[in-house]
Amino acid sequence: MPHKPEDYDSRRWIQWCPGCGNYAILVAFRQALAELDLDPEDIVVITGIGCYGRMNNYVVANGFHVIHGRPIPVATGVKLANPKLTVYAFSGDGDAYAIGISHLPHVARRNVGIKLIVHNNAVYGLTRGQVSPTSPKGMKTKTTPKGAIVEPINPIALVLASGATFVARGFAGDIQHLKYLIVEATKHRGFAFIDILQPCVTYNYIYTYQYFRERVYKLEETGHDPTDFAAAWEKAWEWGDRIPIGIFYRREDKPALEELIPAVKEKPLVEHNLEDIDVKKLLDEHTI
């Protein structure tokens, strides 16, 4: 029997604020898993610290709630240990674009076959409303009472410039489209990145549902060619009266990191026999 979205519902009490964009991301994710018909034991959901970090509690799958800023390295380790698993790293704009940003260009250029989904609400939600790297200039927060004085980071351009092979943006106000992006990201050969515009109804008074509804449009409806890097780069910088969502860029010809490492390629590390390994020689070599 094919899976249904309810099969991935852990039926736990959901603790997000009413109206938070995280609900829509959760629904889209469960729907995508059902469409992909993945067995829960083959899925790993890795989250960092933030409001979004509860995602793994609400999904029936293997879960790992790691420290702030580190979903990418942990997801990389899991994928390299067992490439047969479908590994999702969930992150926040604080997590991925501030404390954990050093991991982002490298996972992109290495093309590790993990799927990174960033709940970008342009604020630190869990710690009650501090400025984040994607907060718009002028936004008043707990830490910028007179308004943010610098321009925000551009995650799409950053990841594109790092050599990513699948770069997309979704909107939590459009579940069907978001489900489509998650399905396509999962089918992608290597690293896939989705930045999601996620309204935080409690701490972000600028990026509301209405703000985005008035501005977002789908790249798929414009004839955009996702294999054209120059076109993707141009679209990456469009932000204002019109905000593109959809797949900016995609190429399938670059091998994933796990395809390039001989020991992993041969068979997953988890299937290697570790019983007969003698580490004495190695220890002796490194002992002065």
Chain contacts with Mg ion (rule: CB under 5 A):
92-94, 121, 125
**CB closer to ligand SF4 out of 127 and 154:** 127
Distance (Å, rounded) from C-alpha 254 to C-alpha 110? 10
In the complex, the smallest distance separating the C-beta of residue 223 from ligand SF4, rounded to whole angstroms, is 34
Which residue, among 32, 8, 38, 74, has the nearest Cα to 185 in the 3D structure? 32
201, 231, 243, 269: residue in contact with ligand SF4 (rule CB under 6 A): 201
Q: In this structure, are residues 66 and 75 in contact, taking their beta carbons and an 8 Å threshold?
A: no
Residue 121 tokens, joined: 């609400």
Q: With binding defined as CB under 6 A, does residue 200 bind ligand SF4?
A: yes
Q: Contacting ligand SF4 (CB under 6 A), which of 125, 155, 170, 226? A: 125
Spatial distance between the Cα atoms of 88 and 237, rounded to a whole number of angstroms:
26
- Residue 162's binding partner among ligand TPP, ligand SF4, Mg ion, none (Cβ under 5 to 8 angstroms by kind) is none
Closest contact distance (angstroms) between CB of 51 and ligand TPP is 4
| Bridge pairing between strands 243-250 and 216-218 | parallel
Which of ligand TPP, ligand SF4, Mg ion, none binds 202 (CB below 5-8 Å, type-dependent)? ligand SF4
Residues 55-94 touching ligand SF4, rule: CB under 6 A, are: none
**Binds ligand SF4 by CB under 6 A, chosen from 8, 16, 166, 171:** 16
> CA torsion 46→52→55→56, rounded to 10°?
30
Of 73 and 92, nearer to ligand TPP (C-beta) is 92
Q: Considering Cα of 17, then 18, then 20, then 22, what sign does the dihedral take? A: positive
| Rg, Å, the chain Cα set | 20
For the chain, report the end-to-end CA distance as a whole number of angstroms: 60
Of ligand SF4, Mg ion, ligand TPP, none, which one sits near residue 166, judging by CB under 5 to 8 A according to partner kind? none
Q: What's the one-letter identity of residue 11? A: R
Least CB distance from residue 82 to ligand TPP, whole Å?
A: 27
Is residue 51 at the binding interface for ligand SF4, with CB under 6 A as the rule?
A: yes
Binding site for ligand TPP (CB under 6 A): 49-52, 67-68, 92-95, 99, 119, 121, 123-127, 132
Work out how close the CB of 25 gets to ligand TPP at its nearest, in angstroms, rounded to a whole number.
Answer: 10
**Tokens standing for 171?**
């909107």
Q: Which of ligand TPP, ligand SF4, Mg ion, none does 90 bind, CB closer than 5 to 8 A by kind? A: none
For residue 235 the two structure tokens come to: 């679209």
206 near 212, Cβ under 8 Å?
A: no
Q: Which of 20, 61, 104, 148 binds ligand SF4 (CB under 6 A)?
A: 20
Sign of the dihedral defined by the CA atoms of residues 70, 71, 75, 76, in that order? negative
Residues in contact with ligand SF4, counted by CB under 6 A, come to a total of: 11
Specify the amino acid at residue 216.
V
Question: Can you give the binding site for ligand SF4, defined by CB under 6 A?
Answer: 16-17, 20, 22, 51, 121, 125, 200-203
